[in-house]
Amino acid sequence: MAAGVATWMPFARAAAVGWLPLAQQTMPKPPVDKTSRSDEILFVNVSGLRFQTWKNTLDRYPDTLLGSSEKEFFYNEETQEYFFDRDPEMFRHILNFFRTGKLHYPRHECIQAFEEELAFYGIIPEIIGDCCMEEYRDRKKENQERLAEDTEAENAGDAPLPPDATLRDKLWRAFENPHTSTMALVFYYVTGFFIAVSVIANVVETVPCRPLKGSIKDLPCGEKFSVAFSCLDTACVLIFSCEYLMRLYAAPSRCDFARSVMSVIDVVAILPFYIGLIMPENEEVSGAFVTLRVFRVFRIFKFSRHSQGLRILGCTLQACASELGFLLFSLTMAVIIFATVMFYAEKGTKGTTFSSIPASFWYTIVTMTTLGYGDMVPDSIAGKIFGSICSLSGVLVIALPVPVIVSNFARIYHQNQRADKMRAQQKVRQARIRMAKKGATNAFLQHKEDGGLQGGDSDSTAFCVKNRSAFEHQHHHLLQCLEKTTNHEFTDEVTYSEVCMMDSMGFRTSRSTSLSSQQGATTTCCSRRAKRRAIRLANSTVSVSRGSVQELDTLHVTKTPVGTQYPQSRSSLNARTEDLKLNCTDYTAAIISIPTPPANSPDESLPNSPAIPGILRNSRSSIYNTQETVKISSL
Partner 1 sequence: MGLVMGTFSMQSNKQDRTYRKDKIDDDFEMSIVCHRPEGLDKLEAQSNFSKRELQVLYRGFKNECPSGVVNEDTFKQIYAQFFPHGDASSYAHYLFDAFDSAHSGSIKFEDFVMALSILLRGSVREKLTWTFNLYDINRDGYINKEEMTDIVRAIYDMMGKYTYPALKTDTPKQHVDAFFQKMDKNRDGVVTLDEFILSCQEDENIMRSLQLFENVI
Interface with partner 1 by CB under 8 A: which residues?
Answer: 1-5, 7-24, 26-27, 29-30, 33, 38-39, 54, 56, 99, 101, 327, 330-331, 333-334, 393, 396-397, 400-401, 404, 437, 440-441, 474-475, 478-479, 482-483, 485-493, 495-496, 499-500, 503, 532
Q: What is the DSSP letter of 157?
A: T
* Shortest distance in whole angstroms from residue 4 CB to partner 1: 5
* Shortest distance in whole angstroms from residue 421 CB to partner 1: 23
Nearer to partner 1, 247 or 447 (CB): 447
Nearer to partner 1, 30 or 595 (CB): 30
Residue 50: strand, helix, or coil: strand
Contact between residue 205 and residue 228 where contact means Cβ atoms under 8 Å apart: no
CB 233: neighbour CB atoms within 10 A? 21
Q: How many Cα neighbours within 13 Å face the side chain of 508?
A: 9
Nearer to partner 1, 366 or 405 (CB): 405
Beta strands 49-54; 75-76: pairing state: unpaired
* Shortest distance in whole angstroms from residue 621 CB to partner 1: 19
Nearer to partner 1, 196 or 436 (CB): 436
Contact between residue 234 and residue 197 where contact means Cβ atoms under 8 Å apart: no
Q: How far apart are CA 219 and CA 243, in angstroms?
A: 34
Nearer to partner 1, 201 or 479 (CB): 479
DSSP per-residue codes, 560-617: HHHHHH-HHHHHHHH---SSPPP--HHHHHHHHHTTHHHHS-TTSS--S-THHHHHHH
Name residue 432's amino acid.
R
Nearer to partner 1, 122 or 401 (CB): 401
Nearer to partner 1, 18 or 214 (CB): 18
Nearer to partner 1, 47 or 100 (CB): 100
Nearer to partner 1, 275 or 327 (CB): 327
* Shortest distance in whole angstroms from residue 186 CB to partner 1: 50
Angstrom CA distances, 12 to 442, 471, 478, 480, 481, stand at: 20, 12, 8, 13, 12
* Shortest distance in whole angstroms from residue 13 CB to partner 1: 5
* Shortest distance in whole angstroms from residue 635 CB to partner 1: 36
* Shortest distance in whole angstroms from residue 582 CB to partner 1: 27
Which long-range contacts (C-beta less than 8 Å, at least 24 apart) are formed by 340-347?
Answer: 341/386, 341/390, 342/378, 342/383, 342/386, 342/387, 342/390, 345/378, 345/380, 345/382, 345/383, 345/386, 346/378, 346/379, 346/380, 346/383
b vs e for 281-316, b when ≥16 Cβ sit within 10 Å of the residue's Cβ?
eeeeeeeeeeeeeeebebbbbbebbeeeeeeeeeee
Q: How far apart are CA 266 and CA 289, in angstroms?
A: 19
* Shortest distance in whole angstroms from residue 137 CB to partner 1: 23
CB 488: neighbour CB atoms within 10 A? 9
Strands (E), 34-108: 41-46, 49-54, 75-76, 81-84
Nearer to partner 1, 27 or 544 (CB): 27
* Shortest distance in whole angstroms from residue 461 CB to partner 1: 20
* Shortest distance in whole angstroms from residue 38 CB to partner 1: 6
Q: How far apart are CA 55 and CA 273, in angstroms?
A: 84
Q: How far apart are CA 315 and CA 467, in angstroms?
A: 57
